[in-house]
Chains A and B, each alone.
Chain A
Amino acid sequence: ELKVEQNPLFLSMQEGKNYTIYCNYSTTSDRLYWYRQDPGKSLESLFVLLSNGAVKQEGRLMASLDTKARLSTLHITAAVHDLSATYFCAGRGGGSNYKLTFGKGTLLTVNP
């Protein structure tokens, strides 16, 4: 059974700083997802990572995947207040099972 662990669970940053959120998963996952959630809202898809060494970037966010280490990272560059949200990673078990298993999320607060 796939398990997904994120850390840190809470992250308070100053604007302009860099930081990384880590996502470890327990067994083979054929793809890794990152989502953003604003308070009281649904999930917004950020990245889908399909293969070892995959790196994707959008604005100040960059996600990477190391399948050998069973680790994905979400790197935040020069944080701005608008990035304040909860970020989730999720893995998919693979094969014919399409359900996603989520980490507990990282609540990111960017302070001026």
Chain B
Amino acid sequence: DGGITQSPKYLFRKEGQNVTLSCEQNLNHDAMYWYRQDPGQGLRLIYYSQIVNDFQKGDIAEGYSVSREKKESFPLTVTSAQKNPTAFYLCASSTTGDGYTFGSGTRLTVV
């Protein structure tokens, strides 16, 4: 079955560490997105990519980095510059039409 897979489901980060969240899709979607969700907040866009080897900052890109070397993959790195990274992270992909698909999410906690 086609879908979008995020891993790991839970991730713990120590102060000063970089961590990478994985997002893989086999839907042949061109566009991929990373959103952050905090309690009581909507989803806020971190980065998005509409084609391979190209990506744009979203509304809250500071402290995060991404790459898009393959169409299927859009990993997100949470760097030590992100001072408050504890949140639920959702990856999504879409066609140029309406086909938005969301992953099951990664919950990141600072310990």
A87 to B41, CA, bound (A): 12
Q: Is A31 interfacial (CB-CB < 8 Å)?
A: yes
Contact A43 B90 (CB under 8 A): yes
Contact A88 B42 (CB under 8 A): yes
- Among the listed B42, B96, B98, B105, which residue makes an inter-chain contact with A105, where contact means beta carbons less than 8 Å apart? B42
Q: Which residues of A contact B45 (CB under 8 A)?
A: 99-101
Q: Which residues of A contact B20 (CB under 8 A)?
A: none
- Among the listed A40, A98, A101, A105, which residue makes an inter-chain contact with B94, where contact means beta carbons less than 8 Å apart? A98
Interface residues of A in 68-100 (CB under 8 A from B): 88, 90, 96, 98-100
Contact A104 B42 (CB under 8 A): yes
- Among the listed B42, B48, B90, which residue makes an inter-chain contact with A99, where contact means beta carbons less than 8 Å apart? B48
- Among the listed B40, B42, B50, B103, which residue makes an inter-chain contact with A98, where contact means beta carbons less than 8 Å apart? B50
Q: Is A21 interfacial (CB-CB < 8 Å)?
A: no
Q: Which residues of A contact B44 (CB under 8 A)?
A: 102
Q: Is A51 interfacial (CB-CB < 8 Å)?
A: no
Contact A103 B42 (CB under 8 A): yes
Nearest B residue to A88, CB-CB: B42
Interface residues of B in 11-53 (CB under 8 A from A): 31, 33, 35, 40-45, 48, 50
Contact A42 B102 (CB under 8 A): yes
A31 to B103, CA, bound (A): 21
Nearest A residue to B95, CB-CB: A98
Looking at the assembled complex, report how far the CB atom of B86 sits from the nearest CB atom of chain A, in whole angstroms. 14
Q: Which residues of A contact B41 (CB under 8 A)?
A: 104-105
Given contacts A40-B88, A96-B50, A100-B45, 6 further A-B contacts (CB under 8 A): A31-B98, A42-B103, A43-B43, A99-B58, A100-B33, A101-B45
